[in-house]
Structure 1
Amino acid sequence: MRHSKLVPEVNAGSMADIAFLLLIFFLVTATISSDQGINRLLPRACPLGMDCSNDVNERNILRIVINNNDEIMIEDEIIPLENLKNIAKTFLDNNGDSSCGYCLGAKDAKSSDNPIEAVVSLQNGKQTTYKTFIAVQNELTKAYYELRQAYSLKVLHKPTDKLTKEEMKIIKEAYPFILSEAETK
């Protein structure tokens, strides 16, 4: 006679259900980091057969270069990142040709004619870090934001968060964000 020992079995069918429920729980409750990026609107394409090159007066170009050592240079002078916003605001709001009725600039003959003509040229070295590039972009965005906020309060008598789409379009036309990452000649 065979003497068999009875081994208790565990029903593994419900284990798969429990594992599936745990997986769903962790997927739902886990925080997923979102990608960060730069919100920019690409320029419209030039129609075929047309010359779309714009001649820009040299005084209307603010040249910013980030070298391979992550140093920020304006007109071959190294500046700290903290100064970039104010330098950009001074350049953009200059009103050098006195055509801008809302500009508060110093009318410096070596700086931009007006915000509509001003171009910010941003170039970087091949070993520039992404962190520095984004920091420079953020400072330039802050400069435009502050100029647009001041325009909104001065001309439209409203903060920018209370504007309609049409009023926001007017502000963006007054201070267009013209940023060139191509080599300027």
Structure 2
Amino acid sequence: MARPINAVNTGSTADIAFIVLVFFLISSNMDSSGGLQRRLPPMPDKNQQVIDQKVNKRNVLVVRINESDRLFAGGEIMDISMLKDKAKEFLMNPNNDPSLPEKEEKNIEGFGMYPISKGVISLQNTRGTSYDAYIRVQNELVRAVNEVRDEFAMANFGKSFILLDETKQEIVRKAVPQNISEAEPKDTGKK
């Protein structure tokens, strides 16, 4: 007569697997190497009316990325290596070019009157745009704003933006606002 086979007790195996999973989640690093560090504006009040702002065409630089990750800035095909300089020229308008954004004199508290660009960079992409291309374009646009801020800080305070105290950084942010508008991705109709 054959002896009955004893069953293996697996109750503790599930407990051990759970403990190993918890240990892994606690001890592992979840940082991502890419992404955007942005502080989003607060949610509007439920009773707040949406006001559609009219923006002069010369004050908008349209940056598009299509489903093939091709970049278009200001209506022309562009290599990403040229985007930062195009965005800087657009934001600064150093020669008061009538095809580039107009400037509005504003009083910045703690600084005085300063001509602030009305320029807005409108970033548009399709649903087929790769995340990598989107992040690279975003990084170039933010790099352009940061360089303009650094140039302003050096010219007016003798230090780069990052070395300024919080009060002076706020002055620089007001003088060189980061006006990057992101449109919702568009479908291209390709299935």
Is the TM value for this pair above 0.5? yes
Percent identity for Structure 1 against Structure 2: 34
Question: Rg larger in 1 or in 2?
Answer: 1
Tell me the residue number matched to 1:113: 102
Deviations 1:2-30, CA, capped at 9 Å, x for gaps: xxxxxxxxxxxxxxxxx999989877765
Q: Which residue of 1 aligns with 2:74?
A: 75
Per the TM alignment, residue 123 of structure 1 is displaced from its structure 2 partner at its CA by: 0.5
**Partners of 1:148 and 1:172 within 8 A in 2:** yes
3-state SS, counterpart of residue 168 of structure 1: helix
Deviations 1:66-120 (A, max 9, x none): 01110010233110000000000000000xxxxxxxxxx1221101113531100
Deviation of 1:137 (Å): 0.4
The two structures have a TM-score, normalised by structure 1, of 0.72
1:25-174, aligned counterparts within 5 Å? 30-34=28-32, 36-42=35-41, 45=44, 48=47, 50=49, 52-94=51-93, 105-114=94-103, 115-174=116-175
Query: Structure 2 vs 1, CA of residues 148 and 43 (structure 1 numbering), >3 Å: closer, same or farther?
Result: farther
Q: Provide the residue aligned with 1:100 in structure 2.
A: none
User: Relative to 1, partners in 2 of residues 1:44 and 1:155: Cα closer, same or farther, differing over 3 Å?
Assistant: farther
CA contact (8 A) 1:62 1:91 kept: yes
Counterparts in 2 of 1:165 and 1:70: CA distance versus 1, 3 Å: same
1:157 counterpart letter in structure 2:
G
Whole-Å separation in 2 of the counterparts to 1:23 and 1:141: 38
Which ranges of structure 2 fall in alignment gaps of 5 or more residues?
1-16, 104-115, 185-191
Name the Cα RMSD after superposition.
3.1
Structure 1: runs of 5 or more not aligned: 1-18, 95-104
Report how many residues are paired: 160
Q: Which has the higher strand share?
A: 2
Cα distance in 1 for residues equivalent to 2:65 and 2:20: 48
Distance 1:163 1:36 in 2: 26
Structure-2 separation of matches of 1:179 and 1:88: 11
